[in-house]
Amino acid sequence: MTDIRTILREAALMLGDRLEAELLLAHALGVDRAWFFAHAEDHFDEERIAGVEALLARRAKGEPVAYILGRRDFWSLSLEVTPATLIPRPETELLVEQALARLPEGGRVLDLGTGSGAIALAIASERPDAEVTAVDASAAALAVARRNARRLGLDRVFMTGSDWYSALGDRRFDVIVSNPPYVEAGDPHLVQGDLRFEPSSALASGPDGLDDIRRIAHGARGSLTDGGWLLVEHGWNQAAAVRGIFISEGLVDAFTVQDLEARDRVTGARAG
């Protein structure tokens, strides 16, 4: 028999991360992390310890904690995530902030490539007056997004399968947001760390990483209302190129906002 304190200590040493150890152990035992403080001396039998060790082994092999747990917190929401979806990241909350700042009362929002639904659902949770549409070309990702919407009571968000704008016809939006693929196809990071487990179609986009951003920008003029905004997340070294793409497509007032680590992260422009 081994006590919780010992299991946690050994797990933290194995992973090199105390928080990850606590999250995985809490998941295996069906408790929250606060439970550990009152039960540090509790003992568990070998069968339950084996279940913990199986989760730790998955993480030790590089599988992302979010996929092991099946969820990830984003904005004020707890979202289901699976290997069919990109794992929502804190820096993407900047995209939500920028969209909310530009969304008129009763405005219409389009989230291109919604994945788990993180961006669309975060906006909808803050703005019940808004009409929010979310699309994804992946049926598996869209199924996850729909489950998240139902569980969070946000199923008023309209979700549909679409390769960017292809299924939207002549609908127009006040704000278009997207966290599209923007990694260079040959980037070595794609075969390292968590990225090895995430869907490559949601990460890589051509030799310079900008193929999908070009497609999004090209279709934006026909899908934005007059003065409507296009906002995209991108890599830290792509801001100038993204602004150039937006301007070449006839958008105006291009700008870039940095994330909390002072890295260029979100670029926007509006329909003139």
pLDDT at 189: 65
Q: Are residues 191 and 219 in the same domain?
A: yes
118 and 191 housed in the same domain: yes
C-alpha–C-alpha distance, residues 150 and 158, integer Å: 11
Q: 204 pLDDT band (50/70/90 cuts)?
A: low
Q: Is the pLDDT of residue 98 over 90?
A: yes
| Residue at 66 is within a domain | no
Higher pLDDT: 106 or 199? It is 106
Structural domain range at position 187: 73-271
Distance in angstroms (rounded) separating the CA atoms of residues 18 and 227: 48
Q: Could you tell me if residue 67 is inside a domain?
A: no
**Dist. CA 36–CA 48, nearest whole Å:** 16
| 223 lies in some domain | yes
Nearest to 185 by CA among 166, 207, 158, 157: 207
46 with 143, same domain: the answer is: no
pTM of the model: 0.88
For all residues of the chain together, what is the average pLDDT?
Answer: 90
Q: How confident is the model at residue 16 (pLDDT cuts 50, 70, 90)?
A: confident
157 and 220 share one domain = yes
CA–CA distance, 237 with 221 (Å, rounded to integer): 25
Helix, strand, or coil (residue 107): coil
125 shares its domain with 245: yes
Q: Are residues 101 and 25 in the same domain?
A: no
Label residue 257 exposed, middle or buried (CB < 10 Å: 0-12, 13-18, 19+). Answer: middle
- Cα separation, 180 vs 115, whole angstroms: 10
| Pair (253, 169) in one structural domain | yes
Total domains present in the chain: 2
Is there a single domain that holds both residue 55 and residue 174? no
**What confidence score (pLDDT) does residue 46 get?**
67
Tokens for 147, please give them.
């489950």
Single-letter amino acid code for the residue at 67: Y
Show which of 10, 40, 61 is a domain's final residue. Answer: 61
Q: CA 136 to CA 121: how far, in whole Å? A: 14
* CATH label of the domain that carries residue 251: 3.40.50.150
CATH assignment of the domain containing 53: 1.10.8.10
Give the helix ranges, DSSP H, for 62-160. Answer: 65-69, 93-102, 118-126, 139-151
Residue 68 lies in a domain: no
**Is residue 17 domain-shared with residue 138, that is, in the same domain?**
no
Q: What is the pLDDT of residue 163?
A: 94
The residue with tokens 């550990």 is: 36
C-alpha–C-alpha distance, residues 100 and 174, integer Å: 11
Looking at the domain assignment, is residue 42 inside a domain?
yes
Same domain flag for 127 and 190: yes
Are residues 92 and 203 part of one domain? yes
- Pair 85, 27 in one domain: no
Residue 1 burial (C-beta neighbours within 10 Å; 0-12, 13-18, 19+): exposed
